[in-house]
A and B are shown apart, each in its own frame.
Chain A
Amino acid sequence: DTAVSQTPKYLVTQMGNDKSIKCEQNLGHDTMYWYKQDSKKFLKIMFSYNNKELIINETVPNRFSPKSPDKAHLNLHINSLELGDSAVYFCASSRDRGLETQYFGPGTRLLVL
């Protein structure tokens, strides 16, 4: 019974396409996150929602748009994909923001050709 799940696990697509990644957590947590991990393994926060409210919105291109339909789900839509978007995207959740442990999903490996 996976705590934080993401779909798809792998995504290979052409430049210019639009794609979405979905995340679901069954932990009853209030806070969810999107992280990007580049080829050098550097993990960087992109967005965070607390109880469906956007609380962290890092400086990312506005081609990236998160959406949280409810506390258990956080989706990431990416328009006009570019080569530099190739990375692993991790969803995470925590009971609340701040000190709480973050639990990561398995990641979505995005390759833009």
Chain B
Amino acid sequence: QKEVEQNSGPLSVPEGAIASLNCTYSDRGSQSFFWYRQYSGKSPELIMSIYSNGDKEDGRFTAQLNKASQYVSLLIRDSQPSDSATYLCAVLRDSSYKLIFGSGTRLLVRP
């Protein structure tokens, strides 16, 4: 079992819709969770971090964390074609300071 799992996609949504990206992790002791966005041929950039159960909103982005279910999600409201990218879920293994990435979900927003 991979430590951080994501559906590879592509997830295709029409412009203006809500895109929902999901991630599960195996280390129950993990406390810190991140979503990075990576455009094709570019480097990853952080868009959200979340540390406690519940929702965290930042503009059109909402991160959701459920530690009991070992589940992290990212919602993108009013999706735009410029949101088309690969979204990487990352989990910090606190004991070793290692950031463990999932393989990413490719999102396509259709105009």
- Annotate B47-87 by CB proximity to A: 1 below 8 A, 0 otherwise: 00101000000000000000000000000000000000010
Chain B interface, number of residues (Cβ within 8 angstroms): 21
Check A107 against B97 for contact (C-beta < 8 Å). no
Give every chain B residue within 8 A of A55 (Cβ-Cβ): 97
Question: Contacts of A56 on B, CB cut-off 8 Å?
Answer: 96-98
Q: How far is the CA of A5 from the CA of B88 in the complex (A)?
A: 21
In Å, the complex CA distance between A106 and B49 comes to 21
Q: Does B32 interact with chain A (Cβ within 8 Å)? A: yes
Q: Give chain A's interface residue range (CB within 8 Å of chain B).
A: 20 to 34
The main secondary structure of chain B at its interface with chain A is strand
**Assembly CA distance A43 to B38 (angstroms):** 11
How far is the CB of B5 from the nearest CB of chain A, in Å? Answer: 12
Which residues of the other chain, A, contact B49 by a CB distance below 8 angstroms?
A: 99, 101
Name the residue of chain B whose CB is nearest to the CB of A43. Answer: B101
CA distance A55 to B44 in the complex (A): 22
Asked if A48 lies at the interface with its beta carbon under 8 angstroms from chain B, I say yes
Do residues B103 and A42 form an inter-chain contact, with CB atoms below 8 A? yes
Is there an interface contact between B101 and A44, defined as CB atoms closer than 8 Å? yes
Listed in ascending order, the chain B residues whose CB lies under 8 Å from chain A are 32, 38, 42-46, 49, 51, 86, 88, 92, 94, 96-101, 103-104
Q: A90-B43, A98-B97, A99-B32 are in contact. List 18 more A-B contacts (CB 8 A).
A: A40-B103, A41-B86, A42-B103, A42-B104, A43-B44, A43-B88, A44-B101, A45-B100, A48-B98, A56-B97, A58-B98, A98-B32, A98-B92, A99-B92, A103-B46, A104-B43, A104-B44, A105-B43
